[in-house]
Structure 1
């Protein structure tokens, strides 16, 4: 269920003041409700019964706990049932007889089809909570899950005390199972040695061992990679790679690991030993998995740097050779024109000068061959890149070239130089490297073999045919998918879940019909002059005409924002929090004090802006640094930021004006480069701004809310994270599903288009290069004559049919959550060419791209919508840059959790601004229209809520929490005293 729609679920009371939006959205009586109330009750009881129905429908529990009814709710209910509203509304005023109150409760419960909790319900709930507790980090998460479980099944929610008892029991039972699993994997004697080892001081002043392990990798360098591998070796010496923790889900291991990460060692040692051992073991295991990923990523980047350096040297050498050849040609020309010599002497001299040119030209015929030669001439760095990975236990397929070469390299590196490259000792390295490896010079052959092994291993790791068991992202590709036995047994159920046919022919048939219609649409566009076929054999599009009446929407937008006026960021945050209670989601409960809520806001600013905790403490005088740091650590855990963002987005999209901007079934996705320190190991240079940066990838719904965010590495393909965002959004059943996602060229590959279609939505790229506007078709396929020159018949329907079953297995694995789309698409990148699944997805994507391009070129409204959605994403990036105007400090962003929190907090602050602007625009437009000002809906569609010029993001901040305390402080899930009714 959506977070915002269930905002009042489980509450024992309502705020003293209720916004009109909340009243309309959550507390409205239908005609059927009013008819039932009029039929059942007399005038003096009708209002009380109506209030009982409204509250029980929204909260899922009885009205026993709240004493004051908001005035606007009382006034609305009285008008709806046709009675006069009393001036004071409390339980004492409404229900003067206990019997009347009980009777109204029974009637409302029967009318709303609510049931009392039965023993069977309690058993099912406790079982569900035990399942939830396997991943939960705190009992607050289980209490919330219990409320949602009961509400979704129309069971009356009992008192907060019972919910807390169930949550504690479920949490304790799962914790006992974790303790038993850890005790089984780490016997008592080994556990004692383990705890002693992690709290032992490190040499050279590095602090305790556990502090050394906590320190994330620093800047990208061979030293950082060596340090990472040293930590991996240490963890393996403790046996972390052998512990069997399969009964403890990864999310639970990470929750325990975060406890160690956020706590000082001296405090960790004070915990009772069973739990202390669990936390330490989970921390060491998770650290090993993350460090292994980090080492492989750093090694891959290092090998890519060496290849790039070799390419630069080859390019420079080719330029020098061209200069030398020109000089040689001048000398030959001079010899041939030397009249002082006979023609025989001139020919012999010219032959002598040109002999070296022939030899040089024959050594490296292509640039790729020159790069390989240059790479072999950097033996020390190539050997160091390989040698540092020697302690990783790579596994692989016996026939994989990268794995075969790695095994051969490990076996041969211990021998002396003469034996290393002995005839027949080196395995086959493929035709590209064979000439260099088979040279008669043993040393040169060994250097070429090492260079070949480095590049082959990198390709194999990227495509998943070589893997490391103690890794998160670089596991065996087949392990990430649904097991073959389970797939064979439940194949039809998985396919039904995807909503796809069982055979490729059934899936392709309607695509072919759509393709034919699209091609004739392109022909029509060519005949209208909308599309031209140039001499280069490419399709050329005419520019879109500007939309008419551009001045009025701009003037109206300016007038609306002038009417809204200037505002301070704290006021914006408080108003949106009062409307959505996103702070409840971030804290896991309703804030218990103003100081707790203020610390949460300070943590959001410290994570979501360039300010650090000490700077935020200076800007908010009521806060201390320690309070902000504690709140920052608390919101790093779990998925609370994601749920808080969902709540704000759902609130924003439910405002009537948002419906003018879209139907909610389309979105755009793009990356924003966030400036970081060059000391960050996964930083990359932004090619546009020439600064070190990290990527924040966001999905913007057509109604303007940011529905998904994820940090990524800059300059890598974004297709996987683009698909992942849509898949995560579409998993919630009671919301409008996204059916179309617009991306730029970086968010698109043919494989991604195929996988997206199997997951139920269309990936629509705005292609940058004209060369990508060829139309790919199957062979044979009849087409109109006008398109013959722009067609490339490189779609194999047979390849799709051959890989169809594995393609379905991949899509089902993504849908069931066994593997993320981002990780799956990484394994199906360019390194996976030739793979059965890659080939099937690639050819399916080519077919889909032709269908998309046909519509893109022939239908101007469709092309305009693609551009409009992507332009909205750019507008939101401007807003995000205004919020995060500086760069990430050097000591932050090194850990994955930290970077995810930065991304989520920045997204939340941007969503807060968008939601606040939307609500104010709605109010201003209503007021202006009532005053007689003409404002067309078409004008409103062409303006958006990403404006930020009227919001002050800096300076001393004053949070007037006291104005919203009735909505934000001491709320729903605190145990309440039963009110005595008389």
Structure 2
């Protein structure tokens, strides 16, 4: 969506005050504008025409409001036109006749190429709004979208009442269509039962069933699994899993569901029946999908716990066995040396010691783990109950589903042994246990095989659940086959990829030959060596010359900037970017609403709760903060607000010295939390329970994407997702290079990123990854032959090219996230043709990257600089979020996204404010003739926070920015006429 450049689009009046930044960015007069004004109007008419011109260009609307014009704008117009203009004026004082004002507006429209909206164009606008309303999440968003749509097409934006009446009628029609869809998909009996949930009580807890369904899952434990299953069972008994509502975009369903989540049941009952039906049905449907995902995640993690515990028990048992074995050897040694007894007596004693020694050879460690897992049959059986109720579906030949069905049938019949004539297929690893003589143990082994197989099947997509978001059928996640065949060329055009693999591979092969030659040259020059381990090695980067000037310059800059209160910083950045208007979808009505919004940002983005924040801000009610915190959970608003702040930061010339804005690094920062969050994991470095906050940091320091993640999992999917979602809203080509650490890299991830149009640059750790993989027909230079492997199959890439493009196009179109796609087609999908094609193509891409990494010092230094820059931003984030996520916070998906987004927004506010002050300080120094080298400035950064007071009593300077941030009440507008 358009960001900072569209700040004033759709406005029908000017604020009473403008900042110098706003005047120069949005209301500037160019030299050609001044020439046109001088040619067309006489001196006393130019000011009014100029004001009409700049307002039309900024807003797309004519300026008809007669309130007081901003002094800053009047002064600027006077200076640019060299005219004496009063500092206090209104349209009424500038125009004595309305016809003159009208003539100026007509001229400005003609000069800017704006066309007036006729009846035919309004029909086109209405048709576009009907299409947009099908996916838009609120009517306010719909009106904002049509403002931008008209502005981009140079159509004069109609009066607000005209658009709002049109949007209201279209929105009502959309909701009527939704109601018709719901009535067709949900039987009346089920709608009545759903409505009864508003007042029905749940057990002895005192809550209504609706309140109970709103309660998020608690800590990772069997009791949480049981409660989550109980909620799923209730929803399935209601028939929610049979509702066919997929034609409505999931984000739109979530938006309606969130309204129910934010209201008390009593307030839901007060809604109009049609509105209540829509919101309640979508809430129940989304709740079932999310609870199913949560249960599958919990059971998968539970299976991992059981396997890990079996591994630990096996390790301990093997250690004890080793001790006992050595003790037996010591005893045997003593018997052998006992010369006081006969040989036969000693042999008899040795035979007694070895009586318990099994005749078969010892099992491998993995086989011992499977045996230990089989012995843990009570916990495995307790876990199979929830899994059986989910209704798994999968491929016909999926062994784990057949095993689950057989185990369920035997348990229902009361059998305790596995029949000898069992024909259910099992893997070779489990075959000895399942085919063994002990049939009771064989049944337990089959249960363990089924439960571990299901987890793998879910990850690779061979097993799925229809009422799930992330674990549904793999083909349902992708563009449907019929649509892919029909629109194949359109998708390829948007990706810039050929329909066959040969043109892409030819270009890649040519680049690879040149890169290999450069690497061989670096080896001959001694910059790269091949070690005894048959892997590439290089010496550490040569440190830059020690120079204290950049550090002293930074200290001098921030010394002149001085200390600042966090509240002042937030309000000033809001005045420059209008992020509060984005978060509220309108301007704040009064000071209390605005301060409550800031307090909600602080409550979400720091470790403080509403009570503590209210104590820091005088005369603020915690209830108002809680209401504003719910508002921040509305999807899309925090990302759009963040985009505005980052765009403002990038308008300063100093950022061009830091980077081009086309590169980024991504990494995860862990926030300590309570184990009572079911997705909390132990951070291996900090040794505490934590959740991950994954961020993409530009080479110009701003954070352009954020998302909460689960720790200790591969992060390649979320890394690619961040770049993809950022690039889809850019018209400048977006990001072209992404630097990640080891966790952000996988083979499939490197292929997907390249086909999406950007390069994934990983910091590789394993020596096995420092090999050169080449096509079987390519010959490596003689000096690199020791580390080259001709094992890349071009045929595998060609054969599955179309399937690979379908996956990538689905990610690009937003049908499936890169996170889910990489899970389904990643390492868990080994053997799948699409995975094989992606893996072989990735080997070529990794070889090309390694050649550049080892042969190009500047490329390597730049990549490490990007990663270090991301770490410096993480330090700033830790200064803002100093504590841990409270046990009662972050359990809901929407709330955790709001926490991540708020922390990102507060971080970007600090970075943008520092950048602005650094630019102003440098401009001041240069105006005095104090020159500063660009090489020094490149090594500075705005992620500085020692001068910021993040705590203490917060006093927001409302009066200083009232006219810029608050929407004046109607009576106040009249008083200013």
Q: TM-score scaled to structure 2, two decimals?
A: 0.97
User: Which residue does 1:235 correspond to in 2?
Assistant: 235
Aligned-pair CA distance for 1:808: 0.3
Q: Which runs of 5+ in 2 are unaligned?
A: none
What is the aligned partner in structure 1 of residue 405 from structure 2? 407
- DSSP 3-state at the match of 1:768: coil
2:544 counterpart SS class: coil
Match for residue 394 of structure 1? 392
Show the counterpart of 1:254.
254
* Alignment match of 2:565 (pick from 565, 568, 578): 568
Q: For the structure 1 residues 440 and 225, does the alpha-carbon distance in structure 2 shift closer, same or farther, using more than 3 Å as the test?
A: same
Greater CA deviation, 781-790 or 712-721?
Answer: 781-790
Q: 1:71-82, aligned counterparts within 5 Å?
A: 71-82=71-82
1:21-61 Cα deviation digits (max 9, x unpaired): 22222222333323322322233323332222211111111
Give the C-alpha shift of residue 66 in structure 1.
5.2
**Among residues 554, 570, 589, which one is paired with 1:557 in the alignment?**
554
CA distance in 1, matches of 2:371, 2:343: 39
Structure 2 distance, partners of 1:618, 1:674, is 24
Which residue is 2:686 aligned to? 689
- 1:83 deviates by 3.7
Q: For 1:972 and 1:712, how far apart are their aligned partners in 2?
A: 43
Whether 1:158 and 2:158 are equivalent positions in the alignment is yes
Structure 1 residues 339, 537: closer, same or farther in 2, change over 3 A?
farther
Residue 664 (structure 2) pairs with residue 667 (structure 1): yes
Aligned with 1:762 (options 755, 759, 764): 759
Query: How far apart, CA to CA, are the structure 1 residues paired with 2:435 and 2:563?
Result: 74
- Out of 493-502 and 177-186, give the one that drifted further: 177-186
Quote the Cα distance in structure 2 between the aligned partners of 1:693 and 1:733.
33
> Where do residues 502-581 of structure 1 align in structure 2 (5 Å cutoff)?
502-581=499-578
Instruction: Assess, with a 3 A threshold, how the Cα gap between structure 1 residues 312 and 793 changes in structure 2: closer, same or farther.
Output: farther
How far has the Cα of 1:348 moved from its partner? Answer: 7.8
- Does 1:181 find its partner at 2:181? yes
Larger mean Cα displacement after TM superposition, 319-328 or 864-873: 319-328
Aligned partners of 2:626 and 2:769: how far apart in 1? 49
Please tell me whether the aligned partners of residues 198 and 269 of structure 2 are also in contact (alpha carbons under 8 angstroms): no
The equivalent of 2:935 in structure 1 is: 938
SS at match of 2:740: strand
Q: Secondary structure at the match of 1:670?
A: strand
1:610 correspondence with 2:613? no
Moved more, 69-78 or 148-157: 69-78
The answer for the alignment partner of 1:430 in structure 2 is: 427
Is the contact made by 1:260 and 1:268 (CA closer than 8 Å) also made in structure 2? yes
Retained in 2: the 8 A contact 1:161–1:975?
Answer: no
Higher relative contact order, structure no. (Cα contacts within 8 Å, ≥ 6 residues apart)? 1
Closer, same or farther: CA 726–581 of 1 in aligned 2, 3 Å: same
Distance 2:451 2:506 in 1: 44
Q: Deviations over 1:889-939 (max 9, x none)?
A: 111111111100111011110011111110011001111222232311111
The answer for the alignment partner of 2:34 in structure 1 is 34
**Does the alignment pair 1:868 with 2:865?**
yes
Deviation at 1:82, TM superposition (A): 4.2
Does the 8 Å CA contact 1:649/1:705 hold for their aligned counterparts? yes
Greater alpha carbon shift after TM alignment, 596-605 vs 773-782: 773-782
Deviation at 1:214, TM superposition (A): 0.9
2:974 is aligned with 1:964: no
Q: Secondary structure of 1:871's partner? A: helix
> What SS does the aligned partner of 1:667 have?
strand
Question: CA distance change for structure 1 residues 941 and 479 in 2, over 3 Å: closer, same or farther?
Answer: same
Contact 2:68 2:976 in 1 (8 A): no
| Matched residue, 1:649 | 646
| Deviation for aligned residue 1:220 | 0.5
Alignment partner of 1:732 is 2:708: no
Query: How far, CA to CA, are the matches of 1:910 and 1:444 in structure 2?
Result: 57
Q: Please, what is the CA RMSD of the aligned residues?
A: 2.2
Q: Which residue of 1 aligns with 2:886?
A: 889
User: Contact (CA 8 Å) 1:12, 1:972: kept in 2 or not?
Assistant: no
- What is the aligned partner in structure 1 of residue 786 from structure 2? 789
Cα distance in 2 for residues equivalent to 1:135 and 1:978: 41
Counterpart position of 2:210 = 210
Report the equivalent of 2:53.
53
List aligned pairs for 1:698-709, cutoff 5 A.
698-709=695-706
The match for 2:122 is 122
Pair 1:632-2:626 in alignment:
no
1:915 and 2:912 aligned: yes
Aligned to 1:23, what secondary structure does the other structure show?
Answer: helix
- 2:219 aligned counterpart, secondary structure: coil
Q: Secondary structure at the match of 1:704?
A: coil
Distance across 2 between alignment mates of 1:652 and 1:970 = 25
Query: 1:382 aligned to 2:380?
Result: yes
The equivalent of 2:108 in structure 1 is 108
- Give the Cα–Cα distance (whole angstroms) in 1 for the partners of residues 924 and 772 of structure 2: 52
Give deviations 1:117-156, integer Å, cap 9, x for gaps. Answer: 1222212222222333334443221221121111111111
CA contact (8 A) 2:198 2:265 kept: no
Structure 1 SS opposite 2:720: helix
Shift of 1:355: 7.5
1:900 aligns with one of 882, 897, 904: 897
Residue 6 of structure 1 aligns with which residue?
A: 6
Give the structure 2 partner of residue 442 of structure 1: 439
**3-state DSSP of counterpart to 2:487:** helix
When residues 197 and 41 of structure 1 are mapped into structure 2, their CA distance, relative to the original with a 3 A threshold, is closer
| Conservation of the 8 A alpha-carbon contact between 1:114 and 1:155 | yes
Structure 2 CA distance for partners of 1:974 and 1:315, relative to 1, 3 Å:
farther
Contact 1:664 1:736 in 2 (8 A): no
User: How far apart, CA to CA, are the structure 2 residues paired with 1:931 and 1:211?
Assistant: 65
Shift of 1:975: 13
Q: CA deviation at 1:186?
A: 3.3
Instruction: Indicate whether 1:97 and 2:97 are aligned.
Output: yes
Mapped partners of 2:190, 2:781: distance in 1: 75
Show the 5 A alignment for 1:695-844: 695-844=692-841
What's the CA shift string for 1:87-123, capped at 9, x where partnerless? 4442133222322222111111011010111222212
Displacement of 1:80 in angstroms is 3.2
Deviates more, 1:393-402 or 1:35-44: 35-44
Distance in 1 separating the partners of 2:971 and 2:860 = 53
Q: Structure 1 unaligned segments of length 5 or more: list them.
A: none
Partner of 1:710: helix, strand, or coil?
strand
1:319 to partner: Cα distance: 1.6
With 327-336 and 121-130 compared, the bigger mean Cα shift is at 327-336
Once residues 803 and 535 of structure 2 are traced to their aligned partners in structure 1, the CA distance between those partners, rounded to angstroms, is: 34
Indicate the larger mover: 714-723 or 129-138.
Answer: 129-138
Shift in Å, 1:822: 1.1
Residue 607 (structure 1) shift: 0.8
Deviation at 1:354, TM superposition (A): 6.1
Q: Secondary structure at the match of 2:64?
A: helix
- For the structure 1 residues 426 and 443, does the alpha-carbon distance in structure 2 shift closer, same or farther, using more than 3 Å as the test? farther
1:142 is aligned to 2:134? no
Does 2:574 correspond to 1:583? Answer: no
Rounded to whole Å, the distance in 2 between the matches of 1:220 and 1:42 is 76
SS in 2 for 1:435: helix
Rounded Cα–Cα distance in structure 1 between residues aligned with 2:634 and 2:970: 21
What's the CA shift for 1:774?
A: 2.0
Shift of the alpha carbon at 1:310?
0.8
Inter-partner Cα distance in structure 2 for 1:536 and 1:666 = 33
TM-score (norm 1): 0.96
